[in-house]
Amino acid sequence: MLTGAAIFGALSLPVSASSGNEADVRAIRAIEEAFLVAQNGQQVAAEFSQDAVMFDPMPPTFDGRAAIEEHMVDAFSHLKNPRAELLSMHIEVDHDLAFAFSTQRMTIEESGNIPREFVMRVTDCYRKIDGKWKVVHNHTSLPVNLETGRVLYMADLKAK
């Protein structure tokens, strides 16, 4: 399981055409940056609202912050040396609603310390609750070869 929020590792921040109140855009960008370097599920879940919903590549749908935290804690426990790089991000803010969508390069190590790189596509929807931005919906997807049902790794994408 790898998830929404592109939660690990190093970062670079190409942000395109962000719009809305600059302070709100900066606040959301800071949350997205924190997801990239978070090292445990509690850090990630803390940025979600109590009633948040997560659509992760791995079923099921996770309803509520408690379920998301449990899922994220489990996810971190199965990953070896996870790292992330933000390839692109776009943020839109309109009053008390906002979204950020991004593409991220994820690297994890498999048995034998062999690194596997793949792209994640992440959309986080935010609501300002009691003056703070909280994720209310997260959707993460991975490019998949529909013929084989397997995730496309960076090497597969570069070969095309």
> What percentage of the chain has pLDDT greater than the value 90?
51
The pLDDT tens digits of the residues spanning 51-107 come to 999 998 877 899 999 999 999 999 888 877 788 889 999 999 999 999 999 999 988
The rounded distance, in Å, linking the Cα atoms of 160 and 154 is 10
Q: What is the CATH number of domain 15-159?
A: 3.10.450.50
Contact 90, 18 (CB under 8 A): yes
The pTM for the full model equals: 0.81
The pLDDT tens digits of the residues spanning 17-66 come to 567 799 999 999 999 999 988 878 899 999 999 999 999 887 789 999 99
| Domain boundary assignment for the chain | 15-159
Is pLDDT at 12 greater than 50 in this prediction? no
Cβ-based neighbours of 113, under 8 Å, separated by 6 or more? none
Q: Quick one: residue 112, left, alpha or beta (phi over 0 = left, psi -120 to 50 = alpha)?
A: left
